[in-house]
């Protein structure tokens, strides 16, 4: 089964399950690492309409439910390992919803090509509209670039 179809199927399943149990699907990946296929499912916890912390119990609960559903429907014919986890502190920002949710947060942007001699930018996400990302760096300079120029955009981990 194609990667996109697998992700769409899991999103379809997770929507009602997540709504009923307080979870929201962040993203899925179907990747081959060191000769083994992995179905990676990243999920957020929703508590009273707010995002909360995922626990290992949450991941286990979702993993058992999703494993049963995958066994029942059998959409993936090859062997794979199912992994369920939170998107992490340094989660990637992918969807419009991610950018809206994390506006005002510190992010890191890795570029395909250098911009003003830099291949990595960091600053506060101040805006995102129509595929254009705007950040304010530590010097207060506003930087705007099309999302497609970024190889990766992640939340910055600040201690």
What's the confidence (pLDDT) of residue 2?
44
Domain extent for 147: 96-155
| pLDDT over 80 at 3, yes or no | no
125 and 63 in a single domain? The answer is: no
What's the confidence (pLDDT) of residue 152?
97
14 and 53 in a single domain? The answer is: yes
- Residue 146: which CATH number? 2.30.30.180
Strands 81-85, 36-47: pairing is parallel
| pLDDT over 70 at 17, yes or no | yes
For residue 66, being part of any structural domain is answered with yes
Distance CA 92, CA 149 (A): 15
Cβ-contact 148, 133 below 8 angstroms: no
Cβ-contact 92, 152 below 8 angstroms: yes
Cβ-contact 44, 51 below 8 angstroms: yes
What's the confidence (pLDDT) of residue 80?
96
User: The tokens of 51 are what?
Assistant: 């995002």
10 and 77 in a single domain? The answer is: yes
- Residue 38: which CATH number? 3.30.300.70
Domain endpoint, select from 35, 54, 85: 85
Cβ-contact 156, 106 below 8 angstroms: yes
Nearest to 96 by CA among 125, 129, 121: 129
Strand partners, 32: 37
Q: What is the DSSP string of 63-101?
A: HHHHHHHHHHH----S--EEEEE---TTPBP-SHHHHHH
21 and 69 in a single domain? The answer is: yes
Q: How many domains does the chain have?
A: 2
User: The tokens of 111 are what?
Assistant: 């570029």
75 and 126 in a single domain? The answer is: no
Q: pLDDT tens for residues 112-143?
A: 999 989 999 999 999 999 999 999 999 999 99
Which band of pLDDT confidence, cut at 50, 70 and 90, is reported for residue 1?
very low
Average pLDDT, the chain: 93
């Amino acid at each position: 089964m194609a990667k996109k179809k697998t992700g769409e199927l899991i999103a379809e399943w997770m929507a009602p399950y997540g709504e009923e149990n307080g979870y929201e699907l962040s993203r899925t990946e179907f990747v081959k690492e060191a000769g083994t296929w992995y179905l990676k499912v990243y999920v957020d916890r929703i508590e009273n309409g707010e995002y909360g912390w995922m626990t290992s119990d949450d991941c286990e609960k979702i993993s058992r439910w999703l494993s049963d559903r995958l066994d029942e429907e059998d959409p993936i014919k090859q062997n794979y390992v199912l992994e369920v986890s939170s998107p992490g502190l340094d989660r990637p920002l992918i969807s419009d919803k991610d950018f809206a949710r994390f506006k005002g947060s510190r992010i890191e942007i890795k570029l395909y090509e250098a911009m003003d001699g830099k291949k990595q930018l960091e600053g506060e996400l101040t805006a995102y509209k129509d595929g254009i990302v705007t950040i304010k760096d530590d010097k207060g300079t506003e930087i705007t670039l099309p999302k497609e120029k970024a190889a990766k955009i992640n939340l910055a981990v600040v201690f």
